[in-house]
Amino acid sequence: MVMLAGTTGLRRSELFALRWSDVDFQTMEVAVTRSCVRGRFGKVKTVASGKPVPLHKIVYDMLLSWRLVTAYGGEGDFLFPSERLNGDKPLTPEMVLRKIVCPALLRAGVQGKLIGWHSFRHSLATNLRSLGVDVKVAQELLRHANSRITMDLYTQAVSADKRIASGRQAEMLLIGKTS
């Protein structure tokens, strides 16, 4: 679940609404067709939100492995079902954060950080920027309505990038060198 969220930037409402029928194992894509907010199913946030999301081979393989071991691997079943509710509903995002994600972060030594499902979207956007991915590609991967949302709200300058930019500015001012 975390790998899927971290590599695709799916919104939590989209992630928890996924059914196996939404995963196209031929094209290695996920169709985002619905959302689930507080147990209620509805449409996705925007028209852009409903576009398919590509899967990396590692995530694809993890999903295949998960489907083989879950008791709920049928086409109509949720990817992440509540076993307590016999698979009839998906897990709740808050419970997964509280009982699984946050304890795993503590075991990994991550402390003092406020982590939520949206952190995965913001991290993906920031990492794409750091990797030099074209803003239009990042916008489409995050399924934002426009690139301004991607740049203004979702990305942060990465420290190394800020240091390089600051160094270039200082060199230009102090020694007249441009790189």
- Pick the last residue of a domain from 86, 113, 140: 113
Q: Are residues 119 and 52 in the same domain?
A: no
Residues 31-45: what's their mean pLDDT? 90
Q: Are residues 96 and 128 in the same domain?
A: no
Confidence of residue 151 (pLDDT cuts 50, 70, 90): low
CA distances from 111 to 6, 27, 104, 105, 115 (A): 19, 38, 11, 7, 10
Dist CA 112 CA 103 (whole Å): 13
Residue 101: the pLDDT is 93
Q: Are residues 18 and 86 in the same domain?
A: yes
Average pLDDT, the chain: 85
Beta strands in 8-62 (DSSP E): 23-24, 29-30, 35-37, 40-42, 53-54
Q: Are residues 129 and 48 in the same domain?
A: no
CA 127 to chain centre: 11
Residues 82-97: what's their mean pLDDT? 95
pLDDT beyond 80 at 160: no
Q: Are residues 2 and 77 in the same domain?
A: yes
* Total domains, the chain: 2
Task: Identify the domain containing residue 147 by its residue range.
Answer: 114-179
DSSP assigned state of 81 = B
Confidence of residue 30 (pLDDT cuts 50, 70, 90): very high
Residue 19: the pLDDT is 98
Q: Which residues of 101-139 are buried (b: 16+ CB within 10 A; e: fewer)?
A: beeeeeeeeeeeeeeebeebbbbbbbbbbeeeeeeeebb
Confidence of residue 145 (pLDDT cuts 50, 70, 90): confident
Instruction: Map residue 97 onto helix, strand or coil.
Output: helix
Residues 82-102: what's their mean pLDDT? 95
Residue 137: the pLDDT is 84
Residue 41 phi/psi, 5° resolution? Answer: -95, 145
Cβ-proximal residues to 66 (8 Å cutoff; 6+ apart), any chain: 79
Residue 104: the pLDDT is 93
